Structure 1
Amino acid sequence: MPPRLLPAPADAATRAAVFPRVRWMGSKHKLLPHLAQAFADIAPADGPGTALDAFSGSGVVSYLLKHQGWAVHSNDYLGFPGVVASAGVVNHDTRLDADDVARILGPAADDRDFVRRTFTGVYFTPDDLEFLDSAWSHIDRMQGGGRAVAIAALCLAAARKQPRGVFTLTGDLSRYDDGRRDLRLSLREHFAERVADYNAAVFAGPRDCEVSSLEIGALEPRRYDLVYLDPPYAPPADDNDYTKRFHFLEGLSRYWVGDTIMWDTKSRKLPKRVTKFSSRRTIEEAFREVFKQFHDSPLVLSYSSNALPDLDTLVGLLREAKDDVEVRRVPHTYHYGTHRTAVRRQVDEYLFLAR
């Protein structure tokens, strides 16, 4: 069998950049060209094989890997990233047509009102909250790739409508109104546009892909031809709690089925998911365990120069499991938030290639 040829890294990165963008902490959209090159450099001689995106987050790196021809296993301990990956990575051919969109935008299929009862005065207008209930009354009757596209579009609509893209802000948010169009659109209007975004991203990849929502240590042991690691960065200050910032998207992705809402919080948070990557005290142990877990797979690790542990420590931990460790530095500006004074941090993004 002839080798499977990788597309040029620049071409794959350009195609992957169309993936609908969620304002996700640590999103790798701007780093796609560098990641595409790293994945090409570490690919087996006979072409791309199996790849694990172990902390898939926004889904864009899994989508890049699919464009490069890998059989992608997209995993994240949160459920929302799994829905996004199901819509754009696992799904090869299903799009929502005009009738699908019209049905979801139309009258409700039942009288559910959970979102209205739970989040009135917390997020969005009454009409927007009513739409979320109504949309889910139809989505509950859908299956497969179409269901995934609908949920992903609904969640992206909510993320775009929410000032700064995070759900730590509640109540009257007019003080955050900077005139952006996203804040003017209703969730119904957003949904129709976001469906178009996901429809445009759907393509038939050459390999079957899969999704899981597990803690990384719970993944079934197996060898991959590439393991990409982009864990939560442990900052010297603050925290890396994704649930705190994106709990609404996490709940909305499954209509809060099975969730325990923290009713004593104004934002109606979900409980924090604590892992060893959550704390400066346990971060080194977390890395050591993951490197050991995938010791027989080639690794690419993304990490930031403004996070803990530092470069030398990470190299030392990698060399406990790998003989060949290469470090690439990519100057990068993290821009978190949508407001004019959003924090911009100039850092180096480290890409570790370990064979």
Structure 2
Amino acid sequence: MGSKHRLLPHLAQAFADLAPGRGRALDAFSGSGVVSYLLKHQGFAVRSNDYLGFPGVVAAAGVVNDDVRLTDEDVERICSPALDDRDFCRRTFDGVFFTPDDLAFLDSAWSHVATMSGHARSVAVAALCLAAARRQPRGVFTISGDLSRYDDGRRDLRLSLREHFVERVADYHRAVFTGPVPCSVSTGEVGEVEPGAWDLVYLDPPYAPVSDDNDYTKRFHFLEGLSRYWEGDEIMWETRTRKLPKRVTKFSSRRTIEAAFGELFEQFRAVPLVLSYSSHALPDRATLEGLLREVKGEVEVRTVPHTYSYGTHRTAVRRRVDELLLLAP
């Protein structure tokens, strides 16, 4: 959601300034994994962590994975007729997001993916998730039904999920490279991460907006479920989009987010920190800087003009903001 790829040159400089000797880096809220990917390119042994499951699969495929790619036979097999009669996607999401053919493809593809293991499985699942995100208007799963009003002529909305999958596999294949040191992935709350094992920590927590919410599960529940074929998930059947239950943290509420930042900074007191945050979110710059200065002492703030990829209609002025990079040695 945060279009972090546009900030990579600024983040690369911040990381190099704070940890010129490289070493172990933690991407504590990894999301799309693009910053973890940058850290790997810079030579860090990066750990990608997120409390949602599908970012872990994405990071496993594109960051932890050094050299595994699917063969043409693998792709052909995943796109071939189903191995079993599973129909969860067709039953659960009929008329919600995708066409019947698209939903049938997801069921069929997973019948093959379920037999795979290791990084090959991660690449396949990550490609399925990226295919679904590209196929869905705006890439979020809060809208359903007749989606024609979101059709702006993009090619992504014309391709079937099967066609998307083949192209997204090729995207991952181009991205895979062997890093100088091993990388890793974890799934869990940031408070569960060991605090003192790092030479650099990058923090990109959910932004608390002035209005609305920052519930990533609400926006990406379909990708979360798809990453494990909803195994063990509790479906909220009363919701139109078949949501998964919200994951509540201290970053979820404007009432508790300042305390969340205080605990986060204290957790990584002994480690150089880079915090990325929006100027149009709570707490504001002065509060954030004050909280960080209380723990770390020295703080440098770099301001980067930034435009988010969501809310692209002409009246969506809130997407044009300053991204704040707070550096604390």
TM superposition shift of 1:346? 2.0
Of 64, 82, 97, the residue aligned with 2:56 is 82
Q: For residue 32 of structure 1, what is the aligned residue in structure 2? A: 8
Once residues 184 and 309 of structure 2 are traced to their aligned partners in structure 1, the CA distance between those partners, rounded to angstroms, is 30
Q: For residue 316 of structure 2, what is the aligned residue in structure 1? A: 343
Of 323, 326, 346, the residue aligned with 2:297 is 323
1:268 maps onto 2:242 in alignment = yes
Of 198, 202, 212, the residue aligned with 1:224 is 198
Letter in 2 for 1:223: A
Alignment of 1:146-295 (within 5 A): 146-295=120-269
Per-residue CA deviations over 1:304-332 (Å, capped at 9, x if unaligned) read 11111111111111112112211101111
Letter in 2 for 1:28: K
Q: For residue 4 of structure 1, what is the aligned residue in structure 2? A: none
Letter in 1 for 2:128: L
| Structure 2 unaligned spans of 5+ | none
Identity rate, percent: 76
Over 3 Å counting, the alpha-carbon distance change for 1:198 and 1:263 in structure 2 is same
TM superposition shift of 1:347? 1.3
Once residues 241 and 138 of structure 1 are traced to their aligned partners in structure 2, the CA distance between those partners, rounded to angstroms, is 32
Once residues 265 and 36 of structure 1 are traced to their aligned partners in structure 2, the CA distance between those partners, rounded to angstroms, is 41
Q: Is the Cα contact below 8 Å between 1:217 and 1:290 reproduced in 2?
A: yes
Per-residue CA deviations over 1:269-294 (Å, capped at 9, x if unaligned) read 00011110011100100000000000
Bigger relative CO (Cα 8 Å, ≥ 6 apart): 2
Q: For residue 276 of structure 2, what is the aligned residue in structure 1? A: 302
Q: Is the Cα contact below 8 Å between 2:23 and 2:45 reproduced in 1?
A: yes
Secondary structure at the counterpart of residue 7 of structure 2: helix
Alignment of 1:128-139 (within 5 A): 128-139=102-113
Secondary structure at the counterpart of residue 281 of structure 2: coil
Q: Is the Cα contact below 8 Å between 1:27 and 1:58 reproduced in 2?
A: no
Q: Is the Cα contact below 8 Å between 1:336 and 1:342 reproduced in 2?
A: no
TM-score calculated relative to the size of structure 2: 0.97
Q: Aligned residues, how many?
A: 328
Once residues 123 and 226 of structure 1 are traced to their aligned partners in structure 2, the CA distance between those partners, rounded to angstroms, is 40
Runs of 4+ in 1 over 6 A off after TM superposition: none
Letter in 1 for 2:19: A
Letter in 1 for 2:316: V
Q: Is the Cα contact below 8 Å between 2:202 and 2:274 reproduced in 1?
A: yes
TM-score calculated relative to the size of structure 1: 0.90
Q: For residue 49 of structure 1, what is the aligned residue in structure 2? A: 23
The RMSD of aligned alpha carbons is 1.1
Q: Is the Cα contact below 8 Å between 1:223 and 1:296 reproduced in 2?
A: no
